[in-house]
Amino acid sequence: MKLITAIIKPFKLDAVRDALREVGVNGVTVTEVKGFGRQKGHTELYRGAEYVVDFLPKTMLQIAVEDSQLDKVLETLGSSAHSGKIGDGKIFVANLEQVVRIRTGETGRDAI
């Protein structure tokens, strides 16, 4: 099993969610986060005063998948979150040792 963590632009969330549903992903955890990469932030004006926005709003998705689903989910995430502009985000993949569904006690594949 794998844990996929994807950092995407917030306005891409609906498109990504719909695309993941189409490939059989049943659950996603979504968190609003802030951060920066090569984008580095930007300068804005507010009431005549200039200030620097160092951390930009992003959306973080966490998805647990079986190994057999990994390539399809990565392809789907990449294509649905892509805008071609700086700041599109990143996808991280980590091994998932164990999963337990709290309500039923199911473990492993059955808990996803």
Q: CATH no. for residue 75?
A: 3.30.70.120
Distances (CA, A) of 98 to 2, 80, 109, 111: 10, 28, 9, 9
* pTM of structure: 0.84
Tell me the pLDDT band of 52, cut-offs 50, 70 and 90.
Answer: confident
- Phi and psi (nearest 5°) for 55? -110, 125
Q: What is the pLDDT of residues 80-95, one digit of tens each?
A: 999 998 888 999 999 9
Number of structural domains, the chain?
A: 1
Tokens for 79, please give them.
């294509």
How far apart, in whole angstroms, are the C-alpha atoms of residue 96 and residue 28?
15
Neighbouring C-beta atoms of residue 62, cutoff 10 Å = 14
Residue 19 has pLDDT above 80, yes or no: yes
Range of the domain at 9: 2-111
